[in-house]
Amino acid sequence: MEPLYVAHAVSSGEGRNGHVATDDGLIDLDLAIQKELGGPGGLTNPEQLFAAGYAACFHSALQAVARAAKVDLGASSVEASVGIGKEGEGFGLNAILEVSTPGAPRKTARALVEKAHQVCPYSNATRGNIVVEIDLVQAAGE
């Protein structure tokens, strides 16, 4: 693959209890381990950042395939939930994407969601590596 864009970020400090920043300064955040994992909470964490990125990327892919199919999705949205838990001797992730397409009928929306899952870079990166569940939570007429 020949990259069209490369993002650069650095983690410093104590990883999950540290700091992340991008070279352009657009992300410049302190991190904290979630309370559920024994940390103090109160700051963002890698799973939230991954969820935000996946939601935005999948939504963009969905809008692109809908445009190509000349389908109006209405005020569509994608909500991503990313879980972390013990897996073997380490940790693993899972993801749930909840897709809302109030402008498109369910059958049409389902086909577009499946197509978006094939073209989304995050979906391609996670396929076969983590469980990703995609739920169509709203479509036209519901």
Asked whether the predicted pLDDT for residue 138 surpasses 90, the reply is no
Q: What is the pLDDT of residue 128?
A: 95
> What is the distance of C-alpha 90 from the center of its chain?
22
* Cα–Cα dist 68/24, whole Å: 32
Cα 83 from chain centre: 11
The first and second tokens of residue 80, run together, are 């991503």
Tell me how far apart the alpha carbons of residues 54 and 117 are, in angstroms, rounded to a whole number: 11
pLDDT tens, 107-120?
999 999 999 999 99
Average pLDDT, the chain: 96
At 123, the pLDDT band (50, 70, 90 cuts) reads: very high
Residue type for position 53: G
Rounded Cα–Cα distance for residues 34 and 32 (Å): 6
- Structure-block tokens of residue 105: 């009928």
% of the chain at pLDDT higher than 70: 100
pLDDT at 139: 80
Share above pLDDT 90 across residues of the chain, in percent, rounded to a whole number: 96
Range 127-137 average pLDDT: 96
Q: Where are the alpha helices (DSSP H) in 7-134?
A: 46-68, 106-119, 121-126
Region of 93 (left: φ > 0; alpha: ψ -120 to 50; beta: rest) is: beta
- Rg of the Cα atoms in the chain: 17
Q: pTM for the full model?
A: 0.95
